[in-house]
Amino acid sequence: MSAPRSILTAKANQRSKGAFILAVILISGACSDVRSGGAGGNVETQGQSAEEKANLDQAWSEDFQKLGLEAQKPPAGDIEMVNTKKYAKDGPYRIAFASQGPTNSWALSYDETLQLAAETTFDDDVEEILYADANGDADKQVSDIEDLVAQQPDALIVTPLGSAVKAPIERAASQGIPVILCTGKVDTDSYVTRVDRDNTLNGTLMAEWVADQVNARGDIIMLSGIPGVPTAVDRLAAAREVFKRYPDIKILGHEYTNWSPTESKKIMESLLVKFPNVDAIWSDSGINDIGVIQAYIEAGKEIPPMSGEPLNGFLRMAKEHDVPFAAIGYPPYHSERCLQAALDTLHGEPQPRFINVDAAVFTDRQIDQYYDPQCSDDLWVPAELPVPKLKELNLC
């Protein structure tokens, strides 16, 4: 999967619309989509999506309760519905997928989930997947999209790596190709829907749980992934808004780890020299937390509560060292929901402007329900790919 472009021809079972609705409701937040006053661009809206707004409201309410916190409401606003009749055509379809590339286990699972769904769940509708692997390079993704569009696909799914993809996305939309943003957002209105986990929700959940752990008073460290990536940006912004409401919580420092356990370990080692008594850690990823725990172990210090994600390696270390944590998921399997949105668009079915996907939300008290000691540290849980595929990918 390292080639710049490859093609998967899908042949298998039966399309089952809604089989992966994910109890519909990462690289984003729902706020921009919810607050939007008009879709503009190359799409036509037709009122509001009351169902999707209700799903988002429910997520905000129930996910806080899963952490033992008081339910909250999402930012005010509506989610528009997009009229997709102009895209309706007979299938089967050729779907272009501009991926970030399998640069880590999350991204690998994400790509494989979409490919497998094309071969099985949606095989009657998918003729082929035109796949482009950007290998984590935002500049390469621009040319990837241009190459994919030149093949005249029926729809384009993009996992945006940066703002540079705005121009090729808009060119694709101007040619009548419906665009689905999958995991991430771009400053453009030229897309039908954005499928993602609400990262404003995730960042808020993480921060409120940390505040609860320190009883609204204490010294904390904040660790983010990659500067400029929507997932990191939105989670951090949401967390800072939360901590503004707690004047007795002092942020000793904030650092970017590039979502590398090696870098996060070095950063935490340095921070522990400056700040030996940290009460809690707000971290936007389980990848960060692996390095954090390693730094504390080597320093011989008691490990404080931390937020993170359900990465099997982090859960293993947390279990071994009795680390209090809140894990808020960003499921790689939601790429299948992106494929479904593309196919529904080609069927002319109205689409909500934003689709929030459900995610696992739990604390160390439920760790045994999620941690899988039989699988790799690189597995993101709960895993949705079948066991044979996980073994093929060396994840189990």
CA dist., res. 323 & res. 10, Å (int): 44
* pLDDT of amino acid 41: 54
- Let me know: does 363 contact 298? Beta carbons within 8 Å: no
Query: What's the chain's average pLDDT?
Result: 88
Q: In percent, how much of the chain has pLDDT > 90?
A: 77
DSSP string, 300-325: T-PPPPEEE--BHHHHHHHHHTT--E
Buried b (16+ CB within 10 A) or exposed e, 189-215: bbbbbbbbbbbbbbbbbbbbbbbbbbe
By three-state DSSP, how is residue 69 classified? coil
Q: Is the dihedral angle over the CA atoms 66, 69, 70, 74 positive or is it negative?
A: negative
Maximal CA-CA distance, the chain: 64
55-81 pLDDT per residue, tens: 888 899 999 999 999 998 887 677 889
* pLDDT of amino acid 75: 79
- Look at residue 96 and tell me whether its pLDDT is greater than 70: yes
Domain 199-328 adopts which CATH fold?
Rossmann fold (3.40.50)
By three-state DSSP, how is residue 298 classified? helix
- Look at residue 189 and tell me whether its pLDDT is greater than 60: yes
CA dist., res. 356 & res. 48, Å (int): 15
Confidence (pTM): 0.85
* pLDDT of amino acid 19: 29
Looking at domain 6-197+331-359, its CATH class is alpha beta
DSSP 4: S
- Look at residue 373 and tell me whether its pLDDT is greater than 90: yes
Q: Which whole number is the average pLDDT over 269-296? A: 97
1-51 pLDDT per residue, tens: 223 223 233 323 333 323 222 222 233 333 445 433 333 456 777 777 777
CA dist., res. 73 & res. 158, Å (int): 29
* pLDDT of amino acid 104: 85
- Let me know: does 323 contact 303? Beta carbons within 8 Å: yes
Q: Which amino acid is at 41?
A: G
Q: Which amino acid is at 198?
A: D
Query: Which of 48, 330, 310 has its CA nearest to residue 196?
Result: 330
* pLDDT of amino acid 76: 67
324-362 pLDDT per residue, tens: 999 999 999 999 999 999 999 999 999 999 999 999 999
Q: Which whole number is the average pLDDT over 298-322? A: 97
DSSP string, 165-228: GHHHHHHHHHTT--EEEESS--S-S--SEEEE--HHHHHHHHHHHHHHHTTT-EEEEEEESSTT
Residue ranges covered by each domain of the chain: 6-197+331-359, 199-328
Helices 199-213 and 230-244: crossing angle, nearest 10°? 40
The answer to whether domain 6-197+331-359 and domain 199-328 are alike in fold is yes
**CA atoms within a 13 Å half-sphere pointing along the CA-CB vector of 96:** 26
Burial (CB count within 10 angstroms: exposed 0-12, middle 13-18, buried 19+), residue 72: middle
Strand pairing partners for 129?
8, 95
Of 105 and 125, more confident = 125
CA dist., res. 172 & res. 272, Å (int): 49
